[in-house]
Amino acid sequence: MRCRRMLRSKRMYDLCFRSLQGLPLPAQALTALIIESIIGRLLSSQDVIVGGYVWMSNHVHMQIFSLDCGALTHFHACLKKRLTDFLKRLLGLHRLNLWDTRTTVGVVLDLEAAIERLVYTYLNPAQAGLINSIDHFRGCDTWRDFMNAPADVNAVVERDVPWILATDIEPLSRENPSLREEQAAVAAIREQASTRITNKLRVMPCKWLEAFKITDPVEIERIRRRIISRVRDEEAKIARTHAPARGVDEFIVTDLYVPKKRGRKVFMYSSCRNLRSAFLEIFRVFINRCTECYELMKRGATDVPWPPECFKPPAPRLCNVI
């Protein structure tokens, strides 16, 4: 029962996935339009809450608050598929193997780890040398939403986004289009989508604090000021030690990315070693229970009581067709 409570409690997750090839998501208005349209459409039917994100040219960091692991898995899978479909249209490609299979969906176990993840996320553009401050980032992010939202766990920032279909997108003349061509593409996509209903892109910048039982507005504001101060201090350090910001504005789908490490892992973020160990032990019990259930299925059982948090596998073959 303790395993069930810990795995099914309201949690903050840190989502990250990256492209296998080059820089397919440059910090441009066209990219932001497509990304936010996809997210807005998915959030209309998914049981997940997006707290914030920063989309870099080849990867994303996104904070999600969710109780439904199945909805979370479906959300990130659909997000990657639709982005791939739209990029194929933009670049005039029939086939595109875009994403690395190692998606990180890490549960955040304590407040200090959560603060570190947000600081790390909003520092990404400066760390990459694209700009000196997240304030000047031209890509797709929720920094201003985070700074300006009311200090309330239920605060919502909404904006209308068009419902874009793949057929609305025409191929670019080249991977790195001129500003005029990009603006024309944005206008054409908006025109095509204008006859459909718009979707609401809903961001809840403070909802993640509910996972740590923090609901007091004074405490929420104190934590937000702390995160903003950390980001400012780290950006100042980066500006003193790094080369001048260079920016990257091109669609590039070359140069294969090869991860340094591969293999299956349990992803989590925690500032406390004991908390990490406790979570791993609970997860081990959960895995052992799933193994027992599968062994029962292999023996022919049809009413196996699988843990509700797991993804039930198909029944194993019990005989060979002659």
- As a whole number of angstroms, the distance between CA 56 and CA 28 comes to 11
Indicate whether 224 pLDDT > 60: yes
Taking the C-alpha atoms of residue 297 and residue 291, their distance in angstroms, rounded to an integer, is 10
Written as one letter, the residue type at 158 is E
pLDDT of residue 260: 60
Position 126 pLDDT exceeds 80:
yes
Answer yes or no: is pLDDT of 276 > 90: no
Q: Please name which of 84, 24, 87, 82 lies closest in space to residue 56, comparing C-alpha atoms.
A: 24
Mean residue pLDDT across the chain: 87
pLDDT digits (tens, 9 = 90+) for 253-275: 655 555 565 555 667 899 888 98
Confirm if 113 and 271 have CB atoms less than 8 A apart: yes
> Confidence band (pLDDT; 50, 70, 90) for 313?
confident
pLDDT tens-digit map of 104-121: 888 999 999 999 999 999
Q: What is the pLDDT of residue 148?
A: 94
Return the pLDDT at 4: 41
Least confident interval from 45-49, 240-244, 249-253:
249-253
Mean pLDDT of all residues in 148-166: 95
What lies within 8 Å, CB to CB, of 14 at 6+ separation is 61, 62, 63, 64, 104, 105, 106, 108, 117, 121, 269
* Least reliable range by pLDDT among 101-110, 155-164, 189-198, 304-313: 304-313
Q: Can you list the domains of the chain with their CATH numbers?
A: 2-271 (3.30.70.1290), 273-322 (no CATH)
What's the average model confidence in pLDDT over 284-310? Answer: 87
**Res 251: pLDDT:** 67
Mean pLDDT score, 119-127: 94
At residue 255, the pLDDT reads: 53
pLDDT at 222 over 90: yes
Q: Which two tokens stand for residue 169?
A: 């997108």
pLDDT at 2: 37
